[in-house]
């Protein structure tokens, strides 16, 4: 345990993904994506249905509309892009993405959000040691999820999908959003640790010269995260204390 603690205490800042790292909302995203594509594929009569592995292979950790495009591409489907605020009933990339968002919000609003206990302990320990913390998430729902989970007061810097789109940053697996988050904290990337549970997020962290990339295995698989570039992988952030 001492070795694991030493793996992060020498850094100056921690950049956290949100869904699956701080909150169990990755599961909610999985459910929302499955409901979306189960419905869409049934409507179109496509012979290859949605599978659990599709989430990790084509969607996990990516900006929402990239997830729509990549999943559809895996089925050989191309749809018109549609306007940014396209109606969720419309069969376009933007429409399907907005439909998924509506499903996600409905689930969160009905169930609420409880953060991972080990993640809360880890954040508190890091802040007590003087490390700066930020959230870097592909989700445009990140501020609402943080507030629902009671974590918003910890993070002055939140780089979510809305912020990234506003300043023209590419999404994960490109490291741009993490580099941007480090800049907002005023900490060199070499002194920042990326904390991720998704392959695309780990790849983003490994794509720049960060102090380390800590993988949290919530289902992607330990070896998969290591192969993607994680410095080390834990089952829960409490393991680092």
CA distance 130 to 132: 6
- Residue the block writes with tokens 């741009």: 176
State the pTM of this model: 0.81
CATH topology of domain 2-24+114-240: Rossmann fold (3.40.50)
Helices 199-206 & 176-185 angle (0-180, nearest 10): 60
CA distance 18 to 82: 28
27-111 shares the fold of 2-24+114-240:
no
Catalytic residue list contains 60: no
Tell which residue, 51, 50, 62, 73, has the closest CA to residue 26. Answer: 62
pLDDT recorded at residue 221:
95
Number of C-beta neighbours around residue 119 at 10 A: 23
Domain ranges of the chain: 2-24+114-240, 27-111
Query: Which CATH architecture best describes the domain 27-111?
Result: Orthogonal Bundle (1.10)
Catalytic residue list contains 17: yes
pLDDT recorded at residue 1:
37
Helices marked H in the chain: 2-6, 25-44, 52-54, 64-74, 93-111, 117-128, 142-148, 161-166, 176-185, 199-206, 222-228
Q: Are 134 and 185 in contact (CB under 8 A)?
A: yes
pLDDT recorded at residue 112:
84
* pLDDT tens track, the chain, 241 positions: 346 788 899 999 999 999 999 999 888 899 999 999 999 999 999 999 999 999 999 998 898 999 999 999 999 999 999 999 999 999 999 999 999 999 999 988 888 889 999 999 999 999 999 999 999 999 988 998 999 899 999 999 999 999 999 999 999 999 999 999 999 999 999 999 999 999 999 999 999 999 999 999 998 999 999 999 999 999 999 999 9
Which of 19, 60, 86, 217 does the annotation list as catalytic? 19
């Amino acid at each position: 345990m001492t070795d694991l603690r030493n793996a992060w205490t020498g850094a100056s800042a921690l950049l956290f993904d949100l869904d699956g790292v701080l909150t169990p909302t990755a599961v909610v995203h999985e459910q929302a994506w499955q409901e979306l594509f189960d419905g869409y594929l049934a409507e179109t009569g496509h012979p290859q249905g949605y599978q659990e592995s599709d989430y990790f292979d084509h969607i996990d950790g990516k900006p929402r509309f990239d997830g729509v495009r990549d999943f559809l591409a895996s089925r050989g489907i191309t749809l018109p892009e549609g306007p940014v605020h396209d109606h969720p009933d419309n069969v376009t990339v933007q429409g399907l993405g907005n439909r998924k968002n509506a499903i996600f919000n409905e689930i969160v609003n009905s169930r609420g959000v409880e953060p991972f206990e080990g993640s809360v302990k880890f954040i508190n320990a890091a802040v007590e040691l003087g490390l700066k913390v930020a959230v870097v998430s592909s989700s445009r729902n990140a501020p609402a999820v943080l507030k629902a989970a009671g974590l918003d007061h910890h993070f002055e810097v939140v780089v979510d999908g809305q912020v990234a789109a506003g300043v023209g940053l590419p999404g994960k697996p490109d490291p741009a959003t993490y580099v941007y988050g480090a800049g907002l904290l005023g900490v060199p990337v070499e002194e920042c640790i990326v904390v991720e549970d998704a392959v695309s997020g780990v790849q983003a962290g490994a794509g720049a010269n960060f102090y380390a990339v800590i993988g949290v295995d919530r289902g992607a698989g330990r070896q998969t995260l290591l192969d993607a570039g994680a410095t080390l992988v834990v089952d829960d952030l409490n393991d680092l204390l």
